[in-house]
Amino acid sequence: MGRPPSKAARAKLLRATTEILVEEGIGAVSIEAVARRAGVAKTTLYRHFGGIDGLVFAAATASVSETVGPDTGSLIGDLREIQRNYLDIASSPINREVFAWMLTRAMHSLEAAALFRQERIQPRGPTVVALQRAIARGELPPTTNVELAMHIIQGPLISKRFVENSDLTDDEFETLLEMTVRALVDTTAGRPPL
């Protein structure tokens, strides 16, 4: 029976991955480069993450997990802050590159698709927490499908930032935010969206 993976080694591997991503881009991330920079054996990397896909997705997940979500007292207020933060993050070329890489991997591998879903819909991620608070406040019904709600919330921003590769004006941002919240409320209330 093997020994359990070390938390310190895992942290070193994630830190090394992030450093390589920031300094050199996704193309420079390899098992050898990460293990060398982390000072950790390649077998340890495989034990923790299974390979490059698991490693990169875990690094992306860790960056979202470290984000503390706002609590403004309303769904629209929470989403306004979360989405502005997302747009700031998505304005970075390296973050767009990593997202496109993850999306491409997810389209070609069921395992990567599961990792992508796990990264995108984290139980304690800021958007999931904002939706749970909205349900608790009665803004959304308890039957709200959080996973589908995440698609409604994230879809427009992904489309503008990654598909069109364009920024939102303040007016477009507010309009999109209002449309998103209206769609969530109308859909979850059992009425057709406006």
The ranges assigned to domains in the chain are 1-66, 69-189
Per-residue pLDDT tens for 22-62? 999 999 999 999 999 999 999 999 999 999 999 998 888 77
CATH assignment of 1-66, given 1.10.357.10, 1.10.3730.10, 3.90.380.10, 3.40.50.1100? Answer: 1.10.357.10
User: In this predicted structure, what is the pLDDT of residue 2?
Assistant: 52
Q: What is the distance between the alpha carbons of residues 89 and 83, in angstroms, rounded to a whole number?
A: 10
- Other CB atoms within a 10 A radius of the CB of residue 51 amount to 11
Q: Which of 70, 194, 192, 58 is nearest to 131 (CA)?
A: 70
Q: Which of 7, 93, 23, 108 is nearest to 58 (CA)?
A: 7
Label residue 161 by pLDDT band (50, 70, 90). confident
Q: Is 142 in contact with 188 (CB distance < 8 Å)?
A: no
CATH assignment of 69-189, given 1.10.630.10, 1.20.120.1200, 1.10.10.10, 1.10.357.10? Answer: 1.10.357.10
Q: Do domains 1-66 and 69-189 have the same CATH topology?
A: yes
Task: Output the average pLDDT for the chain.
Answer: 86
Q: Which tokens in the block code for residue 32?
A: 């050898």
Residue 61: in which H helix or E strand, if any? helix 52-65
